[in-house]
Chain A
């Protein structure tokens, strides 16, 4: 190793050391002994226009009442290579114990989408909204100039599993807003069902961003394409259940895969599978 390479290695090591938050929260399934950074398996696999985040490389934190997996850096999990995918900043896969939850806390300037996968989530906020969101519901909050809210598992006897997704707003400091829609699960069998869009008159909850989200419940062998709505946007796919191939990349349960600089994506189900597609601006 020449001097220049040595200095580069030392530099990257210093960055890792300053990000101790990441090392405090081990990624699930990472049982490799730490013998040097070069020997660690890569947590993020990138090509010219794709990024792959395998499920077992996500940041993981178990707080007792909350077991959570962070696809991107969040709270005390910090990995400088995994901060965001364009405007998509947070993708948390949360499991909350019965009756437990997030007490009242502030939020501002973020578009927050919650998608329950199992169980019921009780929501209260400073705008006066009190609601329970269930499987097949999608909730959105534009935190804008600032709100307070709480989220609890409605049931005492079973866990709630939900996806918490944060997207950077297109316009900062808008008036806070809440919306919730129930979707028919049969409308996404072998179809991509639009659940989020930037147009108030289009299907799905409205988002303050040029972003479109779709859910699909695809049966084994089914294949389709996803056409990008806005030039320059990227698409981040999150596999909720099963196995899929997207843009020639094989994916398994809870893997994340981002693609950009494309107009269209090919999707095929290698088993019965559920997928969430999040199209977001990349700049």
Chain B
């Protein structure tokens, strides 16, 4: 059973995307792949199972809305967040915050509070 947190990172800046992926993948429990274009992002989302989508720099609001619509049709539980800072400083915090929310939601579901 794969217990990794699978993350799709979408960003328009190739070097920044590469840095963000490298940083996420230093964490044993996290697995990230990236997409530079809308088509590539949708194709990867349809192919693999993701727990979280990070919207990085340069992604237009129209694309962001379209990802939300498309991805939620495939996985209504998907968490999507905007990433700020290009990998520097906030990346682990942002992911940690979502994972905390997911674990609290699951815990609440389990104990029916």
Nearest CB of B to A84, in Å: 10
**Given the known A-B contacts A143-B86, A146-B86, are A108 and B58 also in contact in the complex, defined by CB atoms under 8 Å?**
yes
Interface range, A side: 20 to 34
A110 to chain B: which residues have CB within 8 Å?
84-86
Other than the given A11-B111, A143-B57, A146-B57, 13 more pairs (CB < 8 A) read: A14-B107, A15-B100, A76-B92, A89-B84, A89-B90, A108-B84, A108-B86, A109-B85, A110-B84, A110-B86, A144-B57, A145-B57, A146-B58
Interface residues of A (CB under 8 A from B): 4, 7-8, 11, 14-15, 18-19, 21, 73-76, 78, 80, 83, 89-90, 105-110, 143-146, 148, 166, 168, 172-173
Chain A proximity mask over B1-34: 1 for CB below 8 Å, otherwise 0: 0000000000111011001000000000000000
**CA–CA, A168 to B96, complex, Å?**
19
Most chain B beta-carbon contacts within 10 A, residue among A4, A83, A106, A173: A106
The answer on a CB contact under 8 Å between B58 and A173 is yes
Q: Are B16 and A168 in contact (CB under 8 A)?
A: no
B30 to chain A: closest CB distance in Å?
13
Q: Is the CB of B93 within 8 A of A106?
A: no
B89 CB contact (under 8 Å) in A7, A75, A168, A172: A75
* B43 sits at the interface (CB 8 A): no
Residues of the A chain whose Cβ atoms lie less than 8 Å from the Cβ of B16: 106, 108, 146
- Please measure, in the bound complex, the distance between the C-alpha atom of A76 and the C-alpha atom of B88, giving whole angstroms: 11
Shortest Cβ gap from B51 to chain A (Å): 14
- Are A18 and B90 in contact (CB-based, < 8 A)? no
Chain B residues with a Cβ under 8 A of chain A:
11-13, 15-16, 19, 56-61, 82, 84-90, 92-93, 96-97, 99-100, 103-104, 107-108, 111, 113
Contacts of A148 in B (CB 8 A): 15
Residue of A nearest to B103 (CB): A18
A21 touches B57 (CB 8 A): no
**B89 proximity list for chain A (CB < 8 A):** 74-75, 90, 166
Q: Which among B60, B85, B96 has the highest number of chain A CB atoms within 10 Å?
A: B85
Contact between chains at A80 and B13 (CB < 8 Å):
no
Q: A106-B19, A108-B86, A145-B58 are in contact. Are A83 and B104 (CB under 8 A)?
A: no
Given contacts A108-B56, A145-B57, A146-B16, is CB(A11)–CB(B104) below 8 Å? Answer: yes
Do the beta carbons of A168 and B93 come within 8 Å of each other? no
